Amino acid sequence: MYADMKGSTHVLAPPEIAVVAIPEDERVWVPQAPDVWFRPLMLNTMQGQWCNLLRVRRSGVLSRHLHPNPVHGFVLRGRWHYREHDWVATEGSYVFEPPGEIHTLLVPEDTKEMITFFNITGCMIYLDENNVRTGYEDVFTKIDMCRRHYEACGLGRDYVDRFVR
Ligand code: FE
């Protein structure tokens, strides 16, 4: 940062976020389904985008979904794949998911835990095997889930605000 920027219009920039991604406090993980959690990192209400870690401690089909916008992923632990593709995302893998693709996330049986960073814009549209919509998520449903969980677990409903921009 340039010294002469201090006190300039950059004071209007929103505060940065720097957190240890895998938290020490287990309560930071928000339960999403049995043995599935997400950990919010940045919840961008201006662009309908969110960054989070997804943690899965079960194998089999996790979800079948469509996202109308691109998704970027980075695997921190474990492995997973999409039924529709031959590749497997392993620890250290980067994944780009193009807009409009429908895929089915599977965690292999030998994987006790997978943790993946996802940067998602827009929404996730959940589908059944016949491509009928069963639900959706966006940055606002994510914030709501965080509020409910953080209130219930004692961190307080405002705990999520530190991730919201
Ligand atoms: Fe996807």
CA of 107 to the centre of ligand 1 (A): 13
Of 11-20, 26-35, 53-62, 114-123, least confident by mean pLDDT is 11-20
The CATH number that applies at residue 77 is 2.60.120.10
Arithmetic mean of pLDDT, 6-24: 85
- Is the pLDDT reported for residue 132 higher than 80? yes
Within-domain flag for 4: no
| Res 11: pLDDT | 77
Question: pLDDT of 98-109, one tens digit each?
Answer: 999 999 999 999
* 101 domain-assigned: yes
**Cα gap 57→80, rounded to integer Å:** 12
Please enumerate in sequence order all residues whose Cβ is within 8 A of that of 56, keeping only pairs 6 or more positions apart, or say none: 35, 36, 62, 78, 80, 107, 113, 114, 115
Share of the chain above pLDDT 90, in %: 92
Average pLDDT over residues 135-163: 98
- Could you tell me if residue 50 is inside a domain? yes
Our count of domains for the chain comes to: 1
Ligand 1 centre from 49 Cα, in Å? 14
Domain assignment present for 148: yes
Residue 7's pLDDT is 59
Q: How far is the CA of 8 from the centre of ligand 1 (A)?
A: 41
| Centre of ligand 1 from the C-alpha of residue 65, in Å | 6
Q: Which residues contact 113 (CB under 8 A, 6 or more apart)?
A: 55, 56, 57, 77, 78
CA 101 to centroid of ligand 1, rounded, Å: 8
pLDDT, residue 10, reads: 72
Q: How far is the CA of 12 from the centre of ligand 1 (A)?
A: 34
**Is a pLDDT exceeding 70 seen at residue 4?**
no
Q: Is 13 domain-assigned?
A: no
Enter the tokens of residue 33.
């389904």
Q: Which has the higher per-residue pLDDT, 7 or 10?
A: 10
For residue 152, what are the contacts with CB-CB under 8 A and spacing of at least 6?
none
Task: Report the chain's mean pLDDT, rounded to a whole number.
Answer: 94
Domain range for 75 is 25-163
Distance 118 CA to ligand 1 centre (A): 9
Please give the pLDDT value at position 12.
82
